[in-house]
Structures are given as C-alpha cells and as structure tokens.
Amino acid sequence: LKHGRSLTMEEAFCGMAYVIAATNLRFYELFHCQLADLYGSNLSPEHIIAIGTAFLQVMAAKETYRGLTPEEVAGLAAASMMDTIFQIDFSEVIETCGMGGDKGFSHNGFGKKTINASTLSAIVLNALGEPVIKHGSYANTSAVGSTEAIELFGARTDMGSMEDVERIWERSGFCFLDAHWCKTIHDLSHLLMMETINHVVGPMSPPITPYTRIHRLMGVNEKVHPSVIARAYAILHQRGIQSVGGVAVVGGLDRYISEVNVDDVEIFREHCVLDELSPIASVVSIAHEGNYRGSFLVTPHCFGIGIDPEQVLVKNKSEAIQTANARALKGEDKNLSAYLAMNAAMGLFAKRHAGCDTAFLERRINPEYLQLCYQECHEAIMSGRAWQALVAYVEASGGKMSYF
C-alpha cells in the first residue's frame, strides 16, 4: 500500500482476519496458530490488536485519498462474514441497508436528513410477502439510526438466541438484527473512537449462511462509489463466497448530473449526500449474480412521480425523524410516502428484474420496470398493509407497539 498499489482480494481478506482476531475470542483461539505462522511466532493478543488497528487505519486512509477497489471490498467483506456469531440458513432473502455516515442536505445553514428509508423499505417489502431481513445499528450521523427507528416503534432487538430469531422469522417473515448483537467486528473501531471502514464491512456481513440467496438494496456514502460495491458483490458470487441474486447500490445526490458522469468518482464524492435514493437524483449501480450490469442515473421521474425535495427533508432531530417515519409508513404524508415507495421499489427491482436484459436500456434502467415496482410498493403503503406488517413484527418480537 505504501508504494501506491492496491491489495488483492486475498491480501485484504488476510488483513481483515487480524481485525477479527482482535475482537472475536473464538476466532482468535481457532486461528491463532495460522496467524502466528504468517506473522511470526511471537504473536500475543496485544500484537493482534496492534496489527488490526494499523490495518483499519491504513485502509481508511486509502479509502479517503485513493479509494478502495472492488477486489479489496470483496476481501474485506469475505473475511467479515466469518465474524458473525451465528449464521441463519434462509433459502432466499432481501436485505436493505445503508452505510450511514452520509452528510445530508445543507439547508439554510442547518443539516437535514430524511426518513429511515432502508428500514422502512424493509417493512414495505415484507408487506408484499417478500422474505426480508434488516441488520443495522444505532445512529452515527443521523439522530435516528435503524436500530433506534425500529425500537422507537416498540420492537425488541435484544434477541437471546438464534432460536429467537427463527421464531420471529416464522411468525412474521421479517427480522431486524442489530449489528453489534450478532458480530464483534465493530468493537475495535469503537474502541479507537475514529472513522475506519466499518461503514463498508458492516452492511456487507449480515448473519446469513453463504448458501442463502441474498438480494441487496444498499446505500453508500460519498466515500465509496456504488459501482465498487456492486462489482464486489459480483466477485463474491463468482468466488462462491455468497450466493448473490440482484443487487442495487445507491448514492443520493444533492443535484442533477449528466448521465455521462455517473461513473465519475470525484463528481460523486462532491455531490453524494444520502445513503438512499435522493428526491433529486441518484447514482445506482446494479449487479446480478456474478455480473455487473452498470451504473445509472435514477430520478423520481424514472418511477413516474415528482417529489419536491423540500417536502421530504427532515430536521436531524430524533422526534422529527421518527414522526416522519410513522407518517410515511402510514400513508399520512403523500410526499414522504411517495419517497418511501420509491426507495422500496428499488429493492423490489433488484430482486425481480436485475437479471432481466429488457430491464436495461442504453445508459438507463427501463422506467417501465421501476414504475411497476413503485406502484406495488405505494399500494402497500396507502392500503395500510405496510403499517400492519410493522405491527405484526413488533408483536412477534415480543415488543409493544408505540403509536405516533
């Protein structure tokens, strides 16, 4: 790295293994001998922590100044999957998530975000009968993170065992898993109290088996172009590390850009403000199984709607965001509900159409497919089915519904 080169997938994998060994005692005990052979015989727990810390810091610096490659991201993610305390064997799931750490809009000198789109999208997709999991964490740059959002509705996230997860899944076809409950990999970064690469490895290591076919709707912040993540997923499928179906990776922008600039990393870095679809325009990169399909500019008009950004931006305050979450999911605010349906539709497109050649035109996604997905998601919200799905999940989790 110090000579200006990037890591291979295997090198990134090995580096991340030291990070896991620093936080996961069982992993350390199982692989201490192999790690010692690579590093040298004098490999104490203190050495492991030092190596893991150095690796996280140097990869964070590379991400900032040069950018991560798809091979590096695939290696980091593949290693991180070994850290999950348990792995649930679903046959097929959709998972929605965002990296967090997004800047948000600057509005009259104040930062503004919007609803917890990925968390609410998971509930909308579940209302359509799709098998959905969502794993997330507490707030980073937003006042309400995905874990807070689901807990404020009354759901419990403190499952005691894998059996609890399976029971909830069987009752509702949906399950929310807090990242810090099901893996240890974030602990070292939190101990350092500094930005590392948590936002990359966290969303890409849900607690599922490699054989579970996963369809992904994933939001990124300005540090990682969506194409890097989409290509990394294609690599993971090619290598047999994770069974991947359709993948849509999104970065929401604060202005409209030309379609010819969707792959421009510097333009994306300057204008990406949301780790979900923006009410203005977004860069969306698509992969299906082992194939990268391309990057595209997506706007609300692609879904057959128009959204006034002013109507979906929310003060970055806990009460304001959670009230907006409830109004969006209940269908009480037409703008917020349309914005939510648009985000959920992107996930539905990934599952149903990412592998369909007719879903892609030159330089753009076929709007007919996006509009069909939007209409289905919007109907689930306005009919009350999405809210009913949330109520059912809260009850299945052992919680008590909190009404806004």
Residues 48-69: pLDDT tens digits? 888 889 999 999 999 999 999 9
179-202 as b/e: b if 16+ CB within 10 A: bbbbbbbbebbeeeeebbbbbbbb
Q: How much is the pLDDT for 162? A: 82
- 6-20 per-position pLDDT tens digit: 999 999 999 999 999
- 215-269 per-position pLDDT tens digit: 999 999 999 999 999 999 999 999 999 999 999 999 999 999 999 899 999 999 9
* Weakest mean pLDDT among 99-103, 192-196, 198-202: 192-196
Total domains in the fold of the chain: 2
Q: How much is the pLDDT for 140? A: 66
Q: Are 250 and 217 within 8 A, CB to CB?
A: yes
Q: Cα–Cα distance between 388 and 393 in angstroms, integer? A: 9
The answer as to whether 170 is a domain residue is yes
Among the candidates 39, 64, 83, a domain finishes at 83
User: Stretch 285-314: mean pLDDT, rounded?
Assistant: 97
User: Stretch 305-333: mean pLDDT, rounded?
Assistant: 93
User: Stretch 374-390: mean pLDDT, rounded?
Assistant: 98
Higher pLDDT, 171 or 87: 171
Q: Cα–Cα distance between 75 and 80 in angstroms, integer? A: 9
Q: How much is the pLDDT for 342? A: 99
Q: How much is the pLDDT for 157? A: 87
**CATH number of 288's domain:** 3.40.1030.10
Q: How much is the pLDDT for 109? A: 57
User: Based on the domain organization, do 118 and 263 belong to the same domain?
Assistant: yes
Q: How much is the pLDDT for 371? A: 99
What angle do helix axes 9-23 and 70-80 make, rounded to 10 degrees?
30
What angle do helix axes 117-127 and 334-353 make, rounded to 10 degrees?
70
The answer as to whether 232 is a domain residue is yes
* C-alpha dist (Å) from residue 142 to 77, 101, 184, 220, 318: 24, 8, 22, 14, 8
Q: How much is the pLDDT for 190? A: 66
Among the candidates 34, 60, 83, a domain finishes at 83
User: Based on the domain organization, do 348 and 375 belong to the same domain?
Assistant: yes
User: Based on the domain organization, do 230 and 198 belong to the same domain?
Assistant: yes
At residue 356 the predicted structure's pLDDT band, cuts being 50, 70 and 90, is very high
Q: How much is the pLDDT for 46? A: 86
* Weakest mean pLDDT among 128-137, 211-220, 245-254, 382-391: 128-137
Q: How much is the pLDDT for 78? A: 97
User: Based on the domain organization, do 100 and 71 belong to the same domain?
Assistant: no
Q: How much is the pLDDT for 290? A: 98
User: Based on the domain organization, do 115 and 206 belong to the same domain?
Assistant: yes
The answer as to whether 401 is a domain residue is no
Q: How much is the pLDDT for 384? A: 98
Q: How much is the pLDDT for 400? A: 93
Question: Quick one: which of 264, 251, 263, 216 has its CA closest to 236?
Answer: 216
CA 122 to chain centre: 11
Percent of the chain surpassing pLDDT 90: 66
The parent domain of residue 44 ranges over 9-83
At residue 30 the predicted structure's pLDDT band, cuts being 50, 70 and 90, is confident
Among the candidates 83, 110, 135, a domain finishes at 83
Q: How much is the pLDDT for 173? A: 92
Question: Quick one: which of 282, 303, 285, 298 has its CA closest to 372?
Answer: 303
User: Stretch 343-352: mean pLDDT, rounded?
Assistant: 98
User: Stretch 358-368: mean pLDDT, rounded?
Assistant: 95
Q: How much is the pLDDT for 270? A: 96
The answer as to whether 3 is a domain residue is no
User: Based on the domain organization, do 59 and 144 belong to the same domain?
Assistant: no
User: Based on the domain organization, do 300 and 374 belong to the same domain?
Assistant: yes
User: Stretch 288-308: mean pLDDT, rounded?
Assistant: 98
Q: How much is the pLDDT for 141? A: 63
The answer as to whether 403 is a domain residue is no
User: Stretch 166-187: mean pLDDT, rounded?
Assistant: 84
User: Based on the domain organization, do 22 and 166 belong to the same domain?
Assistant: no
At residue 194 the predicted structure's pLDDT band, cuts being 50, 70 and 90, is low
Q: Cα–Cα distance between 335 and 341 in angstroms, integer? A: 10
Q: Which amino acid is at 120?
A: L
User: Based on the domain organization, do 79 and 132 belong to the same domain?
Assistant: no
At residue 147 the predicted structure's pLDDT band, cuts being 50, 70 and 90, is confident
The answer as to whether 39 is a domain residue is yes
